[in-house]
A and B are shown apart, each in its own frame.
Chain A
Amino acid sequence: MPFTVIVLPFAATLFLVLIEALFPAAKYRWSYKVAVTIAVVGLAASIIMVWVENPTNADTAFFFTPLAQLFLTFLFILASISLVVAFFTDNLKSGRYAPVTLTVCGTINAALYINNVFVVTLCFVAAEFFSIISVVDVGAEDEERFVRVVKSAVRYLIVTVLFGLLLFVAQVFLERVRLDPQQIGLIKVIVALAITGFALRFGVFPFNLWLPQILEDAPALASWLVLGLINGAAVIFLVDFLQQNPTLLLNNTSQTLPVMALGMAGAVLSGLFGMAQSSFGKMLAYTGSGNLSLLLFGLATPHTTGLHGAVFEAANFALAQLLIFTSLAVIYYCNYERVVTGLSGLGRRMPVATVGLSFGMLALAGVPLISGFPGKYLILQSAAQEGIGWALLGGLAITMWLLAYLRFFHNQFMGRDVPGLKTKAEPIGTSAIILLLIGVMIFFGIWSSLPLDWLGSALKAA
């Protein structure tokens, strides 16, 4: 039943849009609850379909790899949590966030289900298109912010088209090499095109110029869609792509070095630029870029530990980003729609959000006992196998990400209050979610062998 698997999230979206059209949330308050319920039920049904409707024969046109099954389940659970957060923080009032989240989930579900790389690329392009609708979902009261958001959305749109274009061309050349193995010289071009395409998608430094402005000005949960959800799925696409074509990178040592250099240079330079930022969103964008650069480095290293570490790190990245953006959404909501940049002394007014944000950032910096540690440890272990210099550079990058956050931490969360600032109390629902996410991070940080075993067996099966 491939049709049902693909169509289900879109059918739920359609239902959601109909409900919103018939019973607008502005008039009918219960419409919010219905929207969240439909979206979460739709995602839960999709998770079930991911596990139930999977043919045993991998040669079919529609097939979920074991890794895709694991990741889709994880990402859809996180997307459901983000919808609940959106409910508590008034992000559903425009009626766009829930349908966009469902559509993006539906599109990445189709992307990881369809066994045609060209269509998969187009699905990712479509998912990015849909996410733009939530990026520009800001009020027009602050006109300058609105102009900046639309500008960054246009930049993101251009990057999306370039990502699709580069991957398309890479896949066309790859097909040529398959048909005519004598054109082996094209492999360098294919790797360059594919890695540049994914670097644009991930926002690996220096291909990340579109990212800081989005994270600075777009709604927090929309930023999670762009940075956490789509990137999480894109990592699985990249891993599948590389595993299906091992001659490109995994079994081709001559190609690994430039990609490793790109990843590590991106990680270090992102840390450096992150420390120089004066606004929280931009610092977050650079540390996020650094994480994804290190992840790319891990994928390129010719060791299983690097691959396992990178995949684990992708899961941690999605989780940490959700925690960070949930905390930012709470701060935005409690401060009557003021962005975090320019505020100070928030720790006393919003302790749970502050703790959530700190845990998220510590997870990005790979602090031990949190879920960010095992992935980075494995990547650095793999780096050390290639030479101690790589591992030291990785360590330097991570230290700089941590310093970049600590620069903001004291002033914005522990510093003096902004005079006359009015704030609301943190919603109990979001506080519970933040504490739950922290608990999950600590659990996977301490008992990391469990998810690593799952990922290991999924990668082996693939």
Chain B
Amino acid sequence: MDFLTLTADNYSFYIGLLVAACVALAVYKDWLILTPALVFQYFVVAVVANDQNGTAQRVMLGSIPLAVFLKTMSGVIAALIIFLTGYAIIFERRRLKQQEAEEEAAGTGGLRRFFRRQEKEQLTRFRYIDYMLPIGTSIIAAVATYAFATLLPFSGNFLGDFAFYWTFSIGVTIMVVGSDILKLGIGLLTALNGADLLYSLLRSGDNPLVLGFSAAITIFLALLISYLAILFYNKLKTLNLSDAFTAGRKAVK
């Protein structure tokens, strides 16, 4: 498994993949793009962490380093949970269309009806402005990453510093800009991944217990996000938490 080790040949590939995955996470809203991007991000961070830390333990008949295996698997499971949540919500939306039409005709539904109409409008409309803020904040995150990695290096390796600052700042960016629960959850998972990487960068020799626990926490977090998203969607038929809805409530009433 030579490709799991960073070399001069694949260095730019991994860095490009990390940057692209993080930008996709920050900019796109569609969970069909978000979930593979999350997996790629976890995978690249795992490879970088392994390269910096040199974990001795290996799994799969000694072919894969333990750190890469655990981090990638936790990323895959977390992405799968979010993928299934998004999938379930899409199905729920289709089922609700008829009910929505009936309620619309009857003039009932209150806040839920308002939420659903808003959600539908947002989903079916493409506006450049929706992408301006995430792209702008991603550019700010890139500048901040470069500045921090240059001015405040801590691991003695530019790649490690860059990967940590980049994942963490993108995680924070997503949390600041994102307004739906799944997106906020992806921001949290990205920031958590950055913390994991920091642990690997600064600590000499990974502790398998900590790695395993950290992977479990990642999966717990994904499950909790999924739970919150489904609970919120089931009751209010939207995933959006933005304050625009709060202001809009008066209009509904």
Q: Which of B219-253 contact A (CB under 8 A)?
A: 220-221, 224-225, 227-228, 231-232, 235-236, 241, 245-246, 249
B217's partner among A122, A157, A175 (CB-CB below 8 A) is A122
Residues in B whose Cβ lies below 8 Å from that of A179: 204
A161's partner among B188, B199, B214 (CB-CB below 8 A) is B188
B217 touches A118 (CB 8 A): no
Residues in A whose Cβ lies below 8 Å from that of B175: 158
**Interface residue A207 (Cβ < 8 Å from any Cβ of B):** no
B210 touches A146 (CB 8 A): no
The complex places the Cα of A179 from the Cα of B202 at a distance, in Å, of: 12
A169 touches B198 (CB 8 A): yes
A165 touches B202 (CB 8 A): no
A165 touches B232 (CB 8 A): no
The complex places the Cα of A140 from the Cα of B115 at a distance, in Å, of: 14
B249 touches A165 (CB 8 A): no
B227 touches A133 (CB 8 A): yes
B202 touches A146 (CB 8 A): no
Q: Which of B164-181 contact A (CB under 8 A)?
A: 175, 181
The complex places the Cα of A83 from the Cα of B244 at a distance, in Å, of: 38
A143 touches B224 (CB 8 A): no
Residues in A whose Cβ lies below 8 Å from that of B246: 147
B210 touches A176 (CB 8 A): no
Residues in A whose Cβ lies below 8 Å from that of B231: 136, 150
A165 touches B210 (CB 8 A): no
| Residue of B111, B184, B213, B227 contacting most chain A CB atoms (<10 Å) | B213
User: What number of A residues sit within 8 Å (CB to CB) of B?
Assistant: 32
B217 touches A132 (CB 8 A): no
Q: What DSSP secondary structure best describes chain B's contact surface?
A: helix
Contacts between the two chains (Cβ within 8 Å), count: 87
Instruction: Name the residue of chain A whose CB is nearest to the CB of B220.
Output: A129
B181 touches A122 (CB 8 A): no
**Interface residue B203 (Cβ < 8 Å from any Cβ of A):** yes
Q: Closest Cβ of chain A: how far from B116's Cβ, in Å?
A: 13
Instruction: Name the residue of chain B whose CB is nearest to the CB of A176.
Output: B202
B203 touches A175 (CB 8 A): yes
**Interface residue B186 (Cβ < 8 Å from any Cβ of A):** no
Q: Closest Cβ of chain B: how far from A441's Cβ, in Å?
A: 35
Q: Closest Cβ of chain B: how far from A362's Cβ, in Å?
A: 36
B110's partner among A118, A143, A153 (CB-CB below 8 A) is A143
User: What number of B residues sit within 8 Å (CB to CB) of A?
Assistant: 36
A150 touches B217 (CB 8 A): no
B210 touches A116 (CB 8 A): yes
Residues in A whose Cβ lies below 8 Å from that of B245: 147
Instruction: Name the residue of chain B whose CB is nearest to the CB of A151.
Output: B241
Instruction: Name the residue of chain B whose CB is nearest to the CB of A132.
Output: B224
A150 touches B195 (CB 8 A): no
Residues in B whose Cβ lies below 8 Å from that of A175: 202-203
B224 touches A129 (CB 8 A): yes
Instruction: Name the residue of chain B whose CB is nearest to the CB of A165.
Output: B195
**Interface residue A44 (Cβ < 8 Å from any Cβ of B):** no
The complex places the Cα of A173 from the Cα of B110 at a distance, in Å, of: 53
**Interface residue A259 (Cβ < 8 Å from any Cβ of B):** no
**Interface residue A59 (Cβ < 8 Å from any Cβ of B):** no
Q: Closest Cβ of chain B: how far from A144's Cβ, in Å?
A: 7
B203 touches A143 (CB 8 A): no
**Interface residue B157 (Cβ < 8 Å from any Cβ of A):** no
The complex places the Cα of A459 from the Cα of B217 at a distance, in Å, of: 31
**Interface residue B112 (Cβ < 8 Å from any Cβ of A):** yes
B198 touches A172 (CB 8 A): yes
Residues in B whose Cβ lies below 8 Å from that of A347: none
Instruction: Name the residue of chain B whose CB is nearest to the CB of A128.
Output: B224
B195 touches A168 (CB 8 A): yes
Q: Closest Cβ of chain B: how far from A256's Cβ, in Å?
A: 26
Q: Closest Cβ of chain A: how far from B165's Cβ, in Å?
A: 13
| Residue of B181, B204, B224, B231 contacting most chain A CB atoms (<10 Å) | B224
Q: Which of A132-169 contact B (CB under 8 A)?
A: 132-133, 136, 140, 143-144, 146-147, 150-151, 153-154, 157-158, 161, 164-165, 168-169
B236 touches A169 (CB 8 A): no
The complex places the Cα of A126 from the Cα of B202 at a distance, in Å, of: 23
Residues in B whose Cβ lies below 8 Å from that of A153: 228
A154 touches B192 (CB 8 A): no
Residues in B whose Cβ lies below 8 Å from that of A146: 235-236
Q: Closest Cβ of chain A: how far from B210's Cβ, in Å?
A: 4
Q: Closest Cβ of chain A: how far from B253's Cβ, in Å?
A: 10
B interface residues (Cβ-Cβ under 8 A, vs A): 110-112, 175, 181, 184, 188, 191-192, 195, 198-199, 202-204, 207, 209-210, 213-214, 216-217, 220-221, 224-225, 227-228, 231-232, 235-236, 241, 245-246, 249
A interface residues (Cβ-Cβ under 8 A, vs B): 116, 118-119, 122-123, 125-126, 129, 132-133, 136, 140, 143-144, 146-147, 150-151, 153-154, 157-158, 161, 164-165, 168-169, 172-173, 175-176, 179
Going nearest first, the 5 A-B pairs with the smallest beta carbon separation are: A140-B235, A172-B202, A165-B195, A118-B210, A122-B213
Q: List 13 A-B contacts (CB under 8 A).
A: A119-B209, A122-B210, A126-B216, A132-B228, A136-B228, A146-B235, A157-B224, A158-B175, A161-B221, A164-B192, A165-B191, A168-B199, A173-B202
